[in-house]
A and B are shown apart, each in its own frame.
Chain A
């Protein structure tokens, strides 16, 4: 080991290892160690000596402040480092030289077994190490600039992100508001629908009451007309001429006809408005009931009724189905050729139809036929006959002209269709389709 080094080692303050010493000895930057409290320089590396332009012997044992310009700041720094145990850095401008010179100090504490025993001071005169200092500064500045750029970029990105977040929040808020508005609209609509339904129900009820009241209230004067004209004939018959009695009879007849009209109108209104629930209904039962209701008329007309089973179960409303069959059968008994007793056939056809020319039966439905040998209906009239108050032969055959309208409406309400096949003089075959119950 060179002699200088040995001397240095002899003087070394506690804590400096041999390796450290070797590094420090050869370090290009000036380095010195000072004793904490006193600031006495205990060691200075060759770079430091060269910087001070003094040999090591002249530096050792002297207070640092003596050796460095701007001593006060140094001392304060030293004290601070020694006290806090935290490294510090300081840059000082030296004004004593003609060109601006900056001294850069870095001081950090030296610990032995956690005990602060000294401070290492690193000093750099920028002027002397112009390139390096500038480079350091530049590096620092570059670093700073880069950091600044990065910071700026980060800030921009942040701002952008924040804006995106804000936009998203706004979009979400708008979405929530739109949803709320939609929900409100929905509530409003629902309430509107409920109101309209209530109105409609109320209107329906009013209509029902109206139709009923008309029929009911019109009946009272009809009873009077009918009753009193009969009383005229019965009680005052002798006082009346034959013509007078005829008139009285006419009054009575008209009253009875109007009553029949009112009954039928009520029936039509009822079928149109009534709440209908379709349940499995045995066709056979309904047919038998209707036939027994018409028993007297069947006997009067000397009619022959043929029923061909089997009779399936259909989805229907029993009272309505009864009405439909009753009307169709009444017609079959009424619209007969003179002197020809009616022959009526009731039968059921299931899909697929056995008659290829006939309209195909809707799948899931059955077709009920009411076939007669009566006067028949010309093709050009086959649509009209279902219209209200339409009577093709009002002079020859009685009736209100409502029966087929009722039958058609009734079948419709039960989810089916009603139609007719006929030609003039060849009888009529009325049919209707109802859903089959499986």
Chain B
């Protein structure tokens, strides 16, 4: 049951932060066959003439339901890789996609990906540079259209001592046909005035071939002569403030071109061991998705002040039955914000208790525990008579779940290596001010030993235009309001508002069951229907983001490391948990305004904090209908939801002292007048 609001002004929170800790890592990951979905078998197909994404609610090939069952790797909410294996006649292809959901700064980003054939001790790495900067169509952009360039690296030698080479010809030789014809770049630009073209993806169909020659200037595919191979990728999202890197496997050296030596790629012995197929022997015996974690009611992350039942429902991915008590879950909670998984901010609640029975393949466990007898005062609203701690924590909490083989068993189950992360609240606003904690505690020390580190925060908005698009009133010549939940929207005059209104109506019409208004704001009732559909698994958080005003803050911290580039060494940054809001609003509004405080603005929608290496900083996001944004907080004042960690305001301390002095002075005067000695 969902903790639904009793009035239109009450927020419903879904604030899930979830990480699945891998157990003892098994040697291999598996690239599964592309089974597709009923009615649309096979892999997502974007390369065939006239291809369109499958599914009525699908607006891109990245959402295509035929990715079902893909081997996936996520770096928090920032980047996602997926792969399935397509068989076409006697040929096999890796169908792969990489999505970057929070681009730091324009194009020039690099994707390295490599496959090493263990049997032949040879392989290739491809480096693609994204050059597409503008919004792409559903089909995506090709190399011929200038969407990307690339280079091929060939490797030979033993797994742990590979020599890499690349053609020294200038310019580099043309890429192989399978990249020039079948690869696509997607770029997504939010509606103005939000954060521009801040999402991008590569989609690649790479042939697997026993006869491919890695030494060719344009290999006909990845050479694969045996069952086993090693795989690696790294994304370098370049920006003026540094380069954010996302890699699989993580924790190995970064690729670089520039400096000495001019080319360096991680040795394949550090890549991920892999094979084609699925089932036994593959990593991810047990997988957990964000929708499988809640407290008290499905989808809820709202605490009860008395007793809380935590649930985790990971799925048995093995081919056999598993005992229900084979897996345990540990539940922790933290306030809204960017809190690293190793931060002491995470509060232990409880660990799942054992239960009998067994779980058949493909079905979920129900790992649960009850947390009660805790001091609920911090989670109660400020001013609650329970004490001064009231209001220092939010009742909407992020939830962190760690899965493990149950102690004392001989299980060696491997849990999904992907981390599934959410820290998004649903909220309602007229004027909404939310504080968030940016926590660097527990993050690896700066590689250069520095005691302070820079953090960069990127505010990304969706459906939060400063001026909401609107059609002229019904009756205005040449216009008509679009009918509710209908795709067949009359074509209004060709102006930007009309185009945008038509796009919104068409998008909402794809989700008929939600009964959304064809235009205007998503009101509270609509928001509740969206949340319910999310809980029931009918839509995804990505769909919610398309439909609702969304405010997300992505956070990267400086690692103290650098990588060499053609322009010299640049800072390496790593992501830490993002956080955000889905907003509903009753009634019409002209548009939205938002402000981010507590950090130095260094570029449009990009902010910087210089924090102590183990520090907590509070930032404030304010979102309001246009014209209602309150003035910024005066400088030298600090508002905080955690007064145990926030600095005190010296001005207010002085005021307090002066107040006491004045009161004492008045009391003394009165006593003297009354002759009290």
- State yes or no: do A and B come from one complex: no
Which A residues fall within an 8 A CB radius of B? none
